[in-house]
Amino acid sequence: MRVSSRAVVACILLCSLFASCNPNPAGDMPEGVPVSGTVTLDGKPLPGVNVTFIPVGSTRGDICFGLTDASGKYELNNRYGHSGAPAGEYKVTCTVGGGPGSDAPAEGAPAEPADASTSLPAHYTSEDATKLKATVPAGGGTIDFELTSGQ
C-alpha cells in the first residue's frame, strides 16, 4: 500500500493540532500551595458548604474549591484534583449544597449539610455579590470564614 505525501503531511498536521490541545491546562498553571480553614455561621461550624476561591486581578490560576466536613473544615483543590491554590488574590463564595465542590467532596465530608434548610445571604453565595475575599500567601496557610446569618 502506497501512501501519498499529502496524506502524510495531513496526518502530521492533524496529530500536531490534537497534541497542542491540552485537556488539562493545570500543567500550565502556577503551582498551588496548601490552603485550608474553617467555615462557621454565627460562631458554629458549618458542614456541607462549598467554599470556592475565584482568582481576581493578576492572580493566575483556576477556580479552587473545598467542601466543609462535619466540623466546618475545608481543604482547597482545583478541578483537576491538584491540592491547594496558587498564591494571590481571590473572591470567595460559600454555598450550601450543589456547586463546584459537590462533585469532589472532601474526605470525611457529610453527604448533605447538617441542616439542609440552612441558606446563606447572597453576599456569601453569589460570585457577583460576594463580600468575601482572601489572599493566599506564597507558602499557603489557614483561611477561616466567620459568616453571620444577618446582613
Is residue 34 over pLDDT 50? yes
Is residue 114 over pLDDT 60? no
Is residue 83 over pLDDT 60? yes
Q: Are 70 and 45 in contact (CB under 8 A)?
A: yes
Is residue 133 over pLDDT 70? yes
**Count of helix runs (H) and strand runs (E) in the chain:** 2, 10
Q: Sorting pLDDT into bands at 50, 70 and 90, what band is 23? A: very low
Q: Is the dihedral of CA 140, 56, 26, 51 positive or negative?
A: positive
pTM for the predicted model, two decimal places? 0.72
Section 46-55 average pLDDT? 96
Q: Which has more confidence, 110 or 58?
A: 58
Is residue 50 over pLDDT 50? yes
Is residue 21 over pLDDT 60? no
Is residue 22 over pLDDT 60? no
DSSP string, 73-135: EEE-EETTS-BSB-SEEEEEEEEESSSGGGGSPPTT--SS-SSTT----HHHH-TTT--EEEE
Section 35-55 average pLDDT? 96
Q: Which residues contact 77 (CB under 8 A, 6 or more apart)?
A: 64, 65, 66, 83, 84, 104
Q: Where are the domains of the chain?
A: 28-147
Section 65-75 average pLDDT? 96
Q: Which residues contact 52 (CB under 8 A, 6 or more apart)?
A: 63, 64, 65, 92, 93, 94, 95, 99, 100, 101, 127
Question: May I ask the CATH class of domain 28-147?
Answer: mainly beta
Query: CA-to-CA distance for 52 and 98, rounded, in angstroms?
Result: 12
**What number of other Cβ atoms are within 10 A of residue 146's Cβ?**
10
